[in-house]
């Protein structure tokens, strides 16, 4: 009996972030589970529900107002246009879960894109591309990142920073895959420096990242030059955001994604039932799997149809960015939900002092999330640079940061820490992508797009604050 109780206590934190039809006993009926879920929603546990409802409303509104919104070409464009922001938002979820903020994520992504472009254009000769002084300072910062991450025992950051230093110092000839690896490694190095200043030195993350926002803006200008542009003339890099899986690959992705989801969910569900732990009604679990399979099948079928406006060109298949986002989502969700590191993130975000007293290395956890955020920002930069085909002095600037933070918050991640899931970034990214795409189809000016996006973000933050207050009152 004691073992069962301990197991339940270990499982409960993982289930705390679940915002679907969780139940208290395995004997409840589906109707009772739905009523229990509704009671928790009324108690303030909203999760991603507001974002999902908003997503449905936006789909209905724009499909009604625009005849081209639900065309095959626009559907593919939606997925490709929103991918970079969604990926950067995924990294910011880790930071927001601790109640921190990274205002430099956007410009840091611009730095990684600039380094990638310089290395490609100059065939691996960063010394010639940057100039002597800038190159030696750049390598010095990589060495600093290695030392700081090793000091804090963030070994992934140490390894990635070392790889970046080797690629830069040796002058390895340009290769598309090497350029993308270099970008991610530089992003990790930036995260090591940012995280150390926040976690070990103790400077508030708002101040550190605001300062670095300005620093990285200047670095991008230094790398590219005022008014300059670095073209990315490489088919592999171009296809990251613009390429598509073939017909067979698209349906193979469908089978792997849906089959893998079903296998994981059902295995976990029946395992919990056998152990007498908290579980959802089997009918609801099967219903979610079937609904996902139908939705994925419809999207895959639609994207597998030729959507080219010309008879001379065939454009079909699921865009490459879809499996990329799915892989990041699956890996990140596994880390947060099924590892001790993920539980430590939620614990530190919920109560930092209590986590410290429980033996968690709070400083290491705080530093590590910035490494993750900057690494994912680099991946987002790769996708965006691939989409536009170049890197300019505005890379990572403009509204990149605002949209990325907005995607995470709109999706349901709390600005106060301790609450959020990686899927929030995907849902919020979809909301923002639809707003921008739909407004563009309706020929609305940029001013209206910014106003609407800002109001949606304000609404999401208000819902978060009110739900936390309601949940606190319900717990009394």
Summarised one tens digit per residue, pLDDT across range 182-234 is 999 999 999 999 999 999 999 999 999 999 999 999 999 999 987 788 888 88
Rg over alpha carbons for the chain, rounded to the nearest Å, is 23
Spatial contact of 20 and 37, defined as CB atoms under 8 Å apart? yes
Spatial contact of 170 and 182, defined as CB atoms under 8 Å apart? no
Mean pLDDT value across the chain: 86
Joined together, the tokens standing for residue 171 give 């002058």
For residue 77, CA distances in Å to 66, 72, 137, 277, 382 come to 15, 9, 39, 43, 17
pLDDT at 452: 84
Joined together, the tokens standing for residue 3 give 């073992």
Q: How far apart are CA 269 and CA 22, in angstroms?
A: 11
Instruction: Report the b/e string of 85-98 with b at 16+ CB within 10 A.
Output: bbbbbbbbbbbbbb
Beta bridge partners of 230: 391
Where do the domains of the chain lie?
Answer: 49-243+319-468
Please compute the mean of the pLDDT values over residues 108-119 and round it to a whole number: 94
Q: How far apart are CA 391 and CA 308, in angstroms?
A: 27
- Fill in the DSSP letter of residue 391: E
Q: How far apart are CA 301 and CA 296, in angstroms?
A: 8
Beta bridge partners of 231: 390
Q: How far apart are CA 414 and CA 469, in angstroms?
A: 12
Q: Is the pLDDT of residue 114 over 90?
A: yes
Using 50, 70 and 90 to split pLDDT, how confident is the model at 108?
very high
Joined together, the tokens standing for residue 430 give 């979809």
Spatial contact of 119 and 181, defined as CB atoms under 8 Å apart? no
Using 50, 70 and 90 to split pLDDT, how confident is the model at 4?
very low
pLDDT at 406: 87
Q: How far apart are CA 331 and CA 311, in angstroms?
A: 40
pLDDT at 473: 64
Q: How far apart are CA 351 and CA 188, in angstroms?
A: 26
Continuous segment of H or E residues that includes residue 145: helix 132-151
Using 50, 70 and 90 to split pLDDT, how confident is the model at 68?
confident
pLDDT at 37: 66
Assigned CATH class of 49-243+319-468: mainly alpha
- Fill in the DSSP letter of residue 306: -
Spatial contact of 102 and 95, defined as CB atoms under 8 Å apart? yes
Q: How far apart are CA 129 and CA 4, in angstroms?
A: 62
- Fill in the DSSP letter of residue 418: S
Please compute the mean of the pLDDT values over residues 125-143 and round it to a whole number: 92
Spatial contact of 422 and 90, defined as CB atoms under 8 Å apart? yes
Using 50, 70 and 90 to split pLDDT, how confident is the model at 366?
very high
Q: How far apart are CA 101 and CA 96, in angstroms?
A: 6
**pTM score:** 0.88
Beta bridge partners of 390: 231
């Amino acid at each position: 009996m004691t073992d069962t109780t301990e197991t339940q206590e270990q499982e409960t934190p993982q289930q705390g972030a679940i915002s679907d039809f969780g139940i208290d006993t395995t004997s409840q009926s589906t109707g009772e589970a739905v009523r229990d879920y509704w009671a928790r929603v009324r108690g303030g546990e909203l999760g991603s529900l507001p974002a999902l409802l908003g997503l449905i409303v936006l789909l209905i509104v724009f499909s009604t107002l625009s005849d081209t919104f639900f065309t095959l070409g626009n559907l593919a464009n939606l997925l490709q246009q929103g991918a970079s922001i969604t990926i950067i938002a995924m990294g910011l979820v880790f930071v927001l879960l601790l109640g921190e903020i990274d205002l430099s994520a956007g410009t840091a992504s611009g730095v990684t894109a600039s380094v990638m472009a310089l290395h490609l254009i100059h065939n691996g000769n960063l010394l010639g591309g940057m100039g002597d002084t800038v190159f030696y300072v750049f390598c010095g910062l990589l060495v600093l990142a290695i030392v700081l991450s090793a000091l804090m025992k963030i070994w992934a950051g140490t390894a990635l920073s070392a790889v970046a230093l080797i690629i830069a110092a040796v002058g390895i000839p340009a290769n598309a895959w090497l350029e993308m690896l270099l970008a991610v490694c530089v992003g990790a190095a930036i995260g090591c420096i940012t995280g150390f200043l926040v976690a070990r030195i103790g400077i508030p993350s708002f101040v550190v990242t605001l300062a670095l926002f300005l620093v990285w803006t200047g670095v991008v200008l230094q790398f590219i030059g005022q008014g300059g542009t670095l073209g990315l003339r490489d088919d592999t890099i171009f296809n990251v955001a613009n390429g598509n899986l073939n017909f067979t690959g698209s349906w193979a992705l469908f089978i792997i994604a849906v089959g893998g989801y079903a296998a994981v969910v059902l295995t976990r569900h029946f395992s919990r039932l056998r152990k007498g732990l908290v579980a959802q009604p089997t009918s609801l679990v099967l219903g979610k799997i079937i609904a996902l399979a139908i939705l994925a099948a419809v999207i895959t079928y639609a994207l597998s149809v030729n959507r080219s406006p010309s008879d001379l060109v065939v454009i079909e298949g699921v865009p490459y960015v879809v499996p990329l986002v799915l892989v990041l989502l699956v890996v990140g969700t596994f880390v947060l939900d099924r590892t001790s590191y993920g539980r430590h993130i939620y614990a530190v975000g919920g109560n930092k002092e209590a986590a410290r007293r429980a033996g968690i290395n709070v400083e290491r956890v705080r530093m590590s999330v910035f490494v993750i955020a900057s690494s994912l920002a680099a991946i987002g930069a790769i996708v965006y640079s691939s989409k536009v085909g170049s890197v300019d002095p505005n890379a990572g600037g403009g509204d990149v940061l605002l949209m990325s933070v907005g995607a995470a918050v709109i999706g349901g991640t709390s600005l106060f820490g301790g609450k959020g899931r990686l899927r929030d970034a995907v849902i919020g990214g979809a909301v923002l992508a639809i707003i921008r795409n739909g407004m563009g189809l309706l020929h609305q000016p940029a001013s209206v797009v910014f106003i609407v996006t800002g109001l949606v973000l304000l609404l999401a933050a208000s819902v978060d604050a009110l739900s936390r207050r309601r949940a606190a009152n319900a717990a009394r």
